[in-house]
Structure 1
Amino acid sequence: MSRLRDLALTIAAALVGGVVADALGLPVAWLLGPVVAATAMSLAGLDTRLPEALKTFAFFVLGIQAGSGVSPEIASQIALWPLSFVIQLAGVLLAVMLCYAYLRRLLKWDHASALFASLPGALSFVVAAASETKADMGRVVIIQSIRLLMLIAALVPLLGALEGGDVMGSSIRPSVDGSFGEYALMFALCAVTAFLAAKLNVPGGMMLGALIGSAVLHGASVVSVSLPGFLALPSLVLLGVIVGARLNGISPKAFLQLLVPSLGCFALSLVGTGLAGLAAVVFVDLPAPNVALAYAPGALEALTVLAFQFDIDPAYVASHHVVRFFAIAMIVPFLARRVSRREAGEEPGIDRKENGARAPGE
């Protein structure tokens, strides 16, 4: 019963957050407001996790919506993407090195905690690998979660400035009129591609699969419809709750203890990926807003939605986050084994929980 109560309070708070943000004229109000509200609810001790059915609904709808932002003109830019991938991964490596040096050398964190807290994104893989070592799981989860929240808070006004402050006075684009057949085809194909992507364990499979199906149809000019607001708006609110729920189970004390290190890692991550983004803009002549979202060290789902909301190529953004995700997912098992062997040779008795931060459920 308390689970249902917390869920109702969380969604109600998210809706209020969206209304307030929209009234203030903030960009992407129906995402930004719910993120702030759900974060506050999480730190207040409510169970803000959404049921899987609601998550699946939100990701599927938002995937279709993001894919509708793809146009036939995008095909001419695809040849530039491999070089952009290389530059992006160089920026990720630089960001990891800077964060690790900050946590390990300046703050004197243990090797494992500093390493896994420095890896941007792919949280499920990072946490799974870190759990096989003596890393402080509380530190790793909190650093990763705060980085995502700060990323959204920083990117929204930045993109608003780059794209023009009045680009997104509303979070929802007007839907394009279309026939029942167009909508039926779009939903049917997207359901198939989303199901296949989820079965194949593709990162963000439900959303990415729906995006692919929608992008194919819109990119080939088979359909031209976009989702109506009564579907898009609730999905944005739910995504805001999903992002804010990243801090579910984390106490305010642990959050505050690690706020400064988290902000330091966030800033250094932006330095690493920002330098790579600058290189992509200058040498590959890619649009700055596209690069800002594609190279940002954050979650695929949230940043792909931001791409659509700011009229930025969502396929370009999503593909870069998938590449980053796979790169990190492939390297973390190797890192975990290497760290475990290193720890096996160390003397016992070292306290790696000196700050008292704990992972959710500890």
Structure 2
Amino acid sequence: MRRVRSWAVALGLGTAGGSLFFLIDLPLPWMLGALTATTLAALGGWKPEIPANLRSVMIGVLGLMLGSAFSPDLLGRIGRWSDSLIVLLLAMAATAVLVTAYLRRAAGMSRVTAFFAAAPGGINEMVLTGGALGGDERTIALSHSLRILLIVFTVPFGYRLIAHVHSVPMGESMGRLADLGGMDALVMLGSAVAGAVLAHLARLPAWMLTGPMMASAGLHLAGLTAFRPPAELVVLAQLVTGAAIGCRFRGLSWKEMAVMARPALGATAIMLVLSAGAAALLAGWSELSFGVLLLAFVPGGIAEMCLVALALGQDVAFVSTHHVVRVVLVIMLAPPIFRMIERRETRS
């Protein structure tokens, strides 16, 4: 019964926060409003919680939505993404080096804790790997949670204030629940389940997102379906995603939050500056716009940044591909690179 109350608190607060942000016309209202309400409640001593199964289902819905952005006409453009992926790799390396050095100096973190707190992606994997190598799991988890929270808040408001870009109404980019056909729903449900199972067996990161996304992308690229998840379901997925971020701060006091906030703000600022610089350089000598490149390079969560791209009317397929590549590379490369650094420093 206590857990049910925690679920009700999280969903109720998320709905209230999302509704308020929607009414006052703030960017990405359902995710950011839910995130704000549940974060404040968690820091205030409440115990909001999002059921893991519900979050997994909603992440799967987001995967289907992201995959629906891969239309057949996209095949001619995918080959031209190599330059941006190379720049992304270089920006990731620079981010990891500078943020690690900053966290060691500004927050006094150990080498292993700072390294895995600075790695730009794969929160669960970085916490587990960093902890296994002797790092502080709580610090690593909080650093990544604050990174995602700050980036998800900063980017949409930055677009609104600096570029005067407003959110695109969800009904214009998604379908409607009233128009949902039975056959389309069954095909996409089957592909989501099959994609998630295969991604889990292949041990892909964020498999509940990447599996349905790749399955949906395959069907759309082949021209077998034009299905898009209804806007009402995507709004619910945003609400659950935002509330789940806020619930990560359960059990954290305002004092502990303040202690972690200073290094997190500095680290996030470094990431944003490097991402913006890389986006500006590439935009200067390519046909890609600065706006879409910034969304592709900023190291927020995969689902969160893709929702931001959707809300701002940017190229969701381009953004989602870059974030999946970023997270996969971080998860694959971070542990062996850290061990190599450790061996080299031990010898010296």
Q: TM-score, normalised by structure 1?
A: 0.85
In the alignment, what sits opposite 2:61? 61
Q: CA deviation at 1:100?
A: 2.1
In the alignment, what sits opposite 2:213? 211
Letter in 2 for 1:303: M
Q: Distance in 1 between matches of 2:241 and 2:27?
A: 16
Q: Distance in 1 between matches of 2:172 and 2:234?
A: 7
Q: How does 1:106-121 map to 2 (within 5 A)?
A: 106-121=106-121
User: Deviations for 1:256-290, whole angstroms, at most 9, x for unmatched residues?
Assistant: 11211110000011122222222222223212232
Change in CA separation of 1:60 and 1:128 when aligned onto 2, cut-off 3 Å:
same
Q: Distance in 1 between matches of 2:174 and 2:136?
A: 46
User: Deviations for 1:65-85, whole angstroms, at most 9, x for unmatched residues?
Assistant: 222233333222211222211
In the alignment, what sits opposite 1:318? 320
What SS does the corresponding residue of 1:334 show, helix, strand or coil? helix
Q: CA deviation at 1:150?
A: 0.5
- Aligned partners of 2:170 and 2:311 also within 8 Å: no
Q: How does 1:77-156 map to 2 (within 5 A)?
A: 77-156=77-156
Letter in 2 for 1:63: G
RMSD: 2.7
Q: CA deviation at 1:343?
A: 9.5
Q: How does 1:1-362 map to 2 (within 5 A)?
A: 1-160=1-160, 165-169=165-169, 173=173, 175=175, 177=179, 179-337=181-339
Q: Distance in 1 between matches of 2:31 and 2:184?
A: 27
- Aligned partners of 2:67 and 2:215 also within 8 Å: yes
Letter in 1 for 2:224: V
What SS does the corresponding residue of 1:258 show, helix, strand or coil? helix
Q: Distance in 1 between matches of 2:203 and 2:309?
A: 23
User: Deviations for 1:127-173, whole angstroms, at most 9, x for unmatched residues?
Assistant: 12221344333332222211110100011123446885344255884
Q: CA deviation at 1:295?
A: 0.7
What SS does the corresponding residue of 1:227 show, helix, strand or coil? coil
Letter in 2 for 1:243: I
What SS does the corresponding residue of 2:93 show, helix, strand or coil? helix
Q: Distance in 2 between matches of 1:256 and 1:241?
A: 21
User: Structure 1: which 5+ runs fail to align?
Assistant: 346-362
What SS does the corresponding residue of 2:31 show, helix, strand or coil? helix
- Identity %, equivalent residues: 27
Q: Distance in 1 between matches of 2:136 and 2:191?
A: 43
Q: CA deviation at 1:178?
A: 6.0
- Aligned partners of 1:65 and 1:308 also within 8 Å: no
Residues 156-165 or 328-337, more deviating:
156-165
Q: TM-score, normalised by structure 2?
A: 0.89
Q: Distance in 1 between matches of 2:99 and 2:209?
A: 30
Letter in 2 for 1:238: V
Q: Which structure has the highest helix share of the two?
A: 2
Change in CA separation of 1:184 and 1:162 when aligned onto 2, cut-off 3 Å:
farther
Q: Distance in 2 between matches of 1:293 and 1:284?
A: 16
What SS does the corresponding residue of 1:331 show, helix, strand or coil? helix
